[in-house]
Chains A and B, each alone.
Chain A
Amino acid sequence: MNIELRDPNIIMKLSRLGSFHQSRLSFLRSFLNEFKDWDYKRDLFDLDKDGFGTAVYSFKKKSRVYSLICYANKINDDERSDRVIATKWDAAFTLHDGVPLKEDIERLRNEVPKQEVGRLSYKELTLSRANKSVRVFDHVVENLSNGSQPNLDLLEKVGYLYRTTAVYGSGKFGLADRFRIKNREEINGPFRLEMMLVYLVRQFTFDQVNHVAKNRNPKSAVKLDPKICRNLGIGNSTGLGMAPFIVNHPTLLNNWILSREVALKKIREIKIAETKDISLFKECVKNSLKNITSWNTESEYQLKKIKLLLKDVRKFINFLENEFDFKKDYPFNEIYLWLEKETCEECIEYIVSIMMEPFGEIVQPLISQMSSEEEKYFNIPTERNVEDLKKILENKYSDILKIDFNKEDSNQKFWFISKNKEEPRLANRFEESGADLEQPLAIARDIKKLYERLLSLKNNLKINQFLIDNSDLRHVVRRAFIIENFPYSEIQDNTIGENIVPIDMLRLKLSFFGALKFDPRSDKWLRICMFQGAPLPNELKDYDEQWVYKTFS
C-alpha cells in the first residue's frame, strides 16, 4: 500500500503548523540520543556562597570536547527582565569548542555577560543567558537549606528554576560559522549545539541551587531529589525573533516537515503492527494525558486549544480501547484516517507525534536529513522560462493566488527590524510608520504580484530576461524555483493578513526544538519548557527514550 505524503496546502497552513508537537524527531531528543555515550563532567565549579561565580561543564568523546562556560552574576530585582531590551541577566553562558584555557575563561568573562554587545570568537559555538524564576529558586533554596524537599505543586506549575531569553548560534556576534563544524558527525541534526547548551544549563541550575542551600545552612541542607530535578526543565521566553527564521530558510523548513511527513507515511504503510509497538503507542497516548492536564497557561487562545485537545485525546483513547481493532491491516493508517475525521488539528498532530514513538528504526535515519546545504539551492535557474515559472506558481501556491491583496485586511501588517534591538517586529501598516522599510517576509503577497506580472508576458521569455526589468521580485522568483523541489518549504498562508497569529510560526519552530507546554503571553511571544522529564547527564548512558511521556510519574 502506498500512502501519499500529506498535501502541503493543508499541512503548511499556519493553524496546522501552530498545532505541531514535539516528537522523536525533535532536536532536543535527537541531541540526547547522539550524546548519550559521551563522557559528561563538571570541570569547574567556582561559586561564592550566594551562587555567583564561574562553572564549566563538558561533554567529551575521543579527542572532541564541548565545554559550557557559565557566568552567574548578581543583579538587582529591578534589572531582571525577559524582554529583549534587558542588559543584565542572572547567568550568561557560552559553549566553547574544546577545553577552555584560563585566558579563554577570562576573555569570555568580559564578553559573555554582555550578550549582544559582547564579541565572541570562532572558538565559541553558542551563546545564551537566563533569568531565575525567583519565586521557585528562592522556594527551593529555602526548603533544601531547612532539610526538606520543595513543594511539588509549585514546581510542577512552573516547571523550571531558570528560563533562557535567547540562545544564539551560527556566527552571531562573532561565534563560529556553521561551515567550521558542519562536517562533524555528531552535528548531523539542526540546532544540536544550542540543545547542548540548554541541557547543560539545566544541570547548572540544579548544582547552583544545591550549592546556595548548602552554604545557607551547611548542617541541615539536603540536595534536591534527582527525581525532582528530572521533572524540571529550562524555561524559555520566545518572541518574534524566531518567526522570520522559518521564512528565511525554506529548504531547511522543508527538510524538517518532510522528515515528519515521511515518518508518518511509513508508519501508515505498516501492514501488521507488532504487539510491543501497539502497547508502547497506547502507553504513550495514555501517559501523555498528564502532559495535557499539567499544561498551564492563562492565554484564552491556548486554553481553548488545550481543552479541545484533552477532549479529543480522551475520545481517541476511548476509540482505541473500545472500538479499534489493531489486528486490521494498516492499523496506523486507519487510526490516522479516523483522527482526520473525528478530531481537531491540535489532536491530529499530537497523535501523529506519538505514533513515531515505537518506530525508532523509521525515525532515526530521517534525523540526519533534517539539515540543509542551503547554498546549493541559492542560484536561480535563469535558463528556464515564464511558462515554467507560471506552472510552478499555479501548482504550488494555488491557495495563495486566491488571496485578494487589494483588500486592506489582506495587507494589514508589515514586518520590520527594530533599530533599537535589531529584532523583528510586526506592525499595522495603516497605523504605524516604517512600512517603507518592510522586510521581505510578505511572501504570499509577492508571489501573487509575481504571478500577475507573468500573466502578461510571453511563455517562452527566459527568466534571465524577465529579471532584467523585474528585480523587485527576484527574491520570490528564487523561492518559487526552490518550492518546485522542496514541497514543504513555504508557509501556505498570508503572513501579513489581519488575522495572522505570529505565535503559530514560533510554535512550529519550538515544536521541532522539542518544547513542551506552550504558554502564549500575547499573540507575539510565549513561554515554553525544554527538557522537562529528561534524564540527567549522569543518567544518559541508559535512559528511557519515552521520558517525555513520563513527567511527574
Chain B
Amino acid sequence: MKSLSEIETTVKRASRAAGYSWGIAEEVGKSIRLSELFGFPGIKHLNQYYQNKKKENFDDIKLINKINKSNGLSFCPITLGVNFIDQIKNIETLKKCSVDKLAFPLLLLPFLSRGSEIIGKKLLFSFDDSQFLLNFNVSISSNFWNKEPPILANQVEISFLNNEDNFSDNDWNNLYKLAEDTFVEETDSLKEGAAGAGLTDND
C-alpha cells in the first residue's frame, strides 16, 4: 500500500511535469492525498486526466461566477479547484454556482472539501445522478460508490448550505427530555449545600 506521503509527493511532482506551477502542484498533491484518504479514486482519475491532457485542450475558469458556461472546451478541474479555494469567500455570497462541461469532476471534490473547512459551511456537490455532501473537510457523504468515475460532467452544481440543524425541534426536544433522566431533582438541602458557588455572587 502506498502511504499518503508518497501519494502527495508523487502527485506534486507529476503535476509539475504536467505543466502546472510548483504552487499549483502543491495544491494538487494535498488534494489528491485527501481524495485517497476519503476513499475516492483520486490517483486513478488524475492519471487519466493527465493522459488526456497530452492530447486534448482544456479551458481554465479564472473568475468563478454563478453560472460558468463553456465555449466548447471542457473546463480543467485543477484550475477550477484552486481558484475555487482562492475565491471561496466571494463565491459563498452567490450561494450556488454551476459549471458546464467539467472534465474529470471527481478531481474537484477534495478542493471543495477544503473549501468547506475554510468557510465553515457544508457544501453540496452534484453532477449527473451523483451527490456529495462535504462536511468541513472531516468527511464526505455520497451516493457515489463503486462507480466508474466519469471523464466529463455536462453540468455540475455547487451549493453552500446554511449552518442549520438537520433534525427537527421535536426530535431534539424528545432526546433532550430523555437526557434529563440522568439529572437529580434537587431538594432544599441539596440546593443549599451541593453547589460549588455561594447563593449570592457579586463579583
Contact = CB atoms under 8 A, between A and B. Distances in A.
A172 B22 contact: no
Contact of A474 (B1, B23, B87): B23
Contacts, number: 70
Contacts of B184: none
A473 interface: yes
B26 A478 contact: yes
Which of B5, B26, B62 lies at the interface centre, i.e. has the most chain A CB atoms within 10 A of its CB?
A: B5
A122 interface: yes
B63 A468 contact: yes
A417 B13 CA distance: 10
Interface in B75-126: 82-83, 85-87, 89-90, 114, 118
A348 to B, nearest CB: 36
A523 to B, nearest CB: 26
B57 to A, nearest CB: 18
A125 to B, nearest CB: 11
B115 to A, nearest CB: 10
A477 B114 CA distance: 19
Interface string A370-412: 0000010011101100000000000000000000000000000
Contacts of B85: 379, 382
Nearest to A469: B62
Interface string B38-62: 0000000000000000000000001
Nearest to A467: B86
A467 B20 CA distance: 13
Interface string B14-51: 00000011111011001000000000000000000000
B43 to A, nearest CB: 15
B22 A171 contact: no
A472 B87 CA distance: 18
A366 B110 CA distance: 35
A295 to B, nearest CB: 36
Interface residues of B, number: 26
A464 B86 CA distance: 5
A170 interface: yes
A471 B3 contact: no
Nearest to A378: B30
Give chain B's interface secondary structure class. helix
B192 interface: no
A472 B22 CA distance: 7
B87 A464 contact: yes
A179 B4 contact: yes
B6 interface: yes
A119 to B, nearest CB: 9
A476 B2 CA distance: 29
Contact of B4 (A177, A383, A468): A177
A470 to B, nearest CB: 9
A177 B3 contact: yes
A117 to B, nearest CB: 14
Going nearest first, the 6 A-B pairs with the smallest beta carbon separation are: A474-B23, A171-B5, A171-B3, A475-B23, A440-B22, A464-B86
26 contacts: A121-B1, A122-B1, A171-B4, A172-B3, A172-B6, A174-B3, A174-B6, A177-B4, A178-B5, A380-B86, A382-B85, A382-B87, A383-B89, A440-B22, A471-B20, A471-B21, A471-B23, A473-B23, A474-B21, A475-B21, A475-B22, A475-B23, A475-B26, A476-B23, A478-B23, A478-B26
